[in-house]
Amino acid sequence: MTDAVADLSALSEKLGVDIDPELLVLALTHRSFAYEHGQIPHNERLEFLGDSVLGQAVTVRLYTEHPDLDEGSLAKRRASVVSTVALAEVARGLGLGRFIRLGRGEQLTGGDDKDSILADTTEALIGATYLSAGPDAATALVLRLIEPLLADPDRYGAAVDPKTSLQELAASLSFAAPLYRVDATGPDHARVFTATVTVGEVTTAGTGSSKKHAEMAAALQAWHALSGR
């Protein structure tokens, strides 16, 4: 068994599902890698599918498990576990970063630990599971992955809307409104945004594939720093 095959087997074991090897490789192929290797297929279609499967599985679970919650509360809980930040946390728990196929530019800028790339790849893996093993297996995978998030009551705050939560926390501490700065690097097909936010004496940074995602990542880091969590 080659190292590459062994790695894929190890990932399948972590996921607890047998994914078709070709689909598994596709799910792990970022567009930056595809661009550098002759425009081969990448994982964004699988990501699109996985996002839908994820949303449905979480929605049904919350609806059936919490008959006492109204629509707004259910939506807030769903958002807390399907956000980019939450899915990146799931991906890090799996050690997913080392399996993702990235272009050289993304490798040099730490793409294997960027929230947006980790979250997108997690969704692509869910999509690959749906195609390989069917809807029931895909739903079961989603529920295994997000169960720890659903059980964490602290998640229903800052992780849902980090920028608003940070602004509210800053106001409660009598600080000025958070000040953001965003820079972008890399080619158009693999743009990387880095945001810094300053609140009081705290300055934190975050990265993402869009300005919005970078600012959210930076805001969540600042919220944790200021709240002591």
pLDDT category at 130 given cuts 50, 70, 90 is very high
Domain with CATH 1.10.1520.10 in the chain: 3-155
CATH number belonging to domain 162-227:
3.30.160.20
145-150 contacts: CB < 8 A, separation 24 or more? 145/90, 146/58, 146/81, 146/82, 146/86, 146/90, 148/93, 149/80, 149/81, 149/86, 149/89, 149/90, 150/61, 150/62, 150/77, 150/81
Say what the pLDDT of residue 3 is.
47
* Rounded CA separation 99/121 (Å): 10
Mean pLDDT estimate for the chain? 88
Residue of 51, 112, 115, 120 with catalytic role? 51
* Rounded CA separation 194/190 (Å): 13
123 is catalytic: yes
Topology adopted by domain 3-155: Ribonuclease iii, N-terminal Endonuclease Domain; Chain A (1.10.1520)
pLDDT one-digit tens code per residue, 21-48:
999 999 999 999 999 999 999 999 999 9
pLDDT one-digit tens code per residue, 78-93:
888 898 888 998 999 9
Question: Among 219, 205, 216, 224, which residue's Cα sits nearest to residue 84?
Answer: 216
* Rounded CA separation 178/167 (Å): 6
Q: Is 97 helix (H, G, I), strand (E, B) or coil?
A: helix
pLDDT one-digit tens code per residue, 61-78:
999 999 998 988 888 888
pTM: 0.74
Contact 188, 178 (CB under 8 A): no
Contact 83, 156 (CB under 8 A): no
Domain with CATH 3.30.160.20 in the chain: 162-227
Question: Among 93, 99, 91, which residue's Cα sits nearest to residue 29?
Answer: 99
Sign of the dihedral through C-alpha 115, 120, 121, 122: positive
pLDDT score of 2 more than 50: no
Residue of 47, 89, 115, 123 with catalytic role? 123
51 is catalytic: yes
